[in-house]
Structure 1
Amino acid sequence: MNGKEWYREQLKKPEWLAKRKKIYERDNRTCVDCQKSGIRIHCHHEHYVRGKKPWDYPPHAFVTLCDECHDNRHRAAIMKFMTHHDAEMWLMFSEVDKAMIEVELKERSERVEGLSNQGADWDSNGQYYSMIDENGEQRCFDADGNLM
């Protein structure tokens, strides 16, 4: 039996069916990516650990996805790890990266809003903000609202 056949057999076992049911209930039987419900859904592993059975993962390692979103996730690289610790470290760093990006996007939005409130306009190519300051000097800012 090859790896795919073994995996398909594991997905028929009661342990997997029980785990999958809990994930579906947690996610309200709704695709977490597109928010569709009332359609066929999948219990998708966010990562894999070599040698682990499909149900031997913590709940946050799974998401409920519709057919289309499930296919999209599988077209992206699937992360494979040697241990749960490796996977947990990756998830932790991913959350830190996400938080840092959210902070940067919020700060960018505040800079750009501040420039707009001061009368800055996009150039004709939409590449930078331009405004005349209180001294009559033209000042230019990049798309992130930073002085150029």
Structure 2
Amino acid sequence: MTEFQIQPHKEAYQEALLDRRWRELREAILDRDRHQCRSCGSQTSLHVHHRQYHRIKTTGIWIKPWEYPEYLLITLCHSCHQTGHQQFSIPIKDI
């Protein structure tokens, strides 16, 4: 069983964020968003946030961080990212 089966365990997810494919996609999103938070405009402590998470309905395997379309990713500063996670749950879509 891979780390993305059943649920993306925090450690496995953090490890996936070190993958070259995620780093390249992350940089593309930061470039698209002009290296600033899309919520407040800050240019420090930037994160790329997934607007929703996907898992394969038949297997329960979670889609890897770099397999999402760019429109589901957004640049947020640490503060806005943290606030968003406190106020809203990220939708999970079975595909």
Query: C-alpha offsets along residues 34-85 of structure 1, whole Å, 9 cap, x if unaligned?
Result: 1122x110000000002100010110100000011000111111111111xx
Q: Distance in 2 between matches of 1:61 and 1:42?
A: 14
Query: C-alpha offsets along residues 110-135 of structure 1, whole Å, 9 cap, x if unaligned?
Result: xxxxxxxxxxxxxxxxxxxxxxxxxx
Aligned to 2:74: 63
Instruction: Determine whether 1:31 maps to 2:37.
Output: yes
**Which sections of structure 1, spanning at least 5 residues, go unmatched?**
84-148
Using structure 1 for the length normalisation, give the TM-score. Answer: 0.53
Count of aligned residue pairs for this structure pair:
82
What is the aligned counterpart of 2:16 among 10, 24, 36? Answer: 10
Instruction: Determine whether 1:49 maps to 2:49.
Output: no
Q: For 1:130-141, what aligned pairs fall within 5 Å after superposition? A: none
Q: Distance in 1 between matches of 2:90 and 2:71?
A: 16
Secondary structure of the structure 2 residue equivalent to 1:21: helix
Secondary structure of the structure 1 residue equivalent to 2:85: helix
**Which sections of structure 2, spanning at least 5 residues, go unmatched?**
56-61
Q: Distance in 2 between matches of 1:21 and 1:40?
A: 14
Q: Distance in 2 between matches of 1:70 and 1:7?
A: 17
| Bigger helix share | 1
Query: C-alpha offsets along residues 76-121 of structure 1, whole Å, 9 cap, x if unaligned?
Result: 11111111xxxxxxxxxxxxxxxxxxxxxxxxxxxxxxxxxxxxxx
Q: Distance in 2 between matches of 1:36 and 1:17?
A: 20
Q: Distance in 1 between matches of 2:50 and 2:84?
A: 10
Say which one has the larger Rg.
Answer: 1
RMSD: 1.3
Aligned to 1:118: none
Q: Distance in 1 between matches of 2:53 and 2:15?
A: 17
Deviation at 1:31, TM superposition (A): 0.2
| Identical aligned residues as a percent | 35
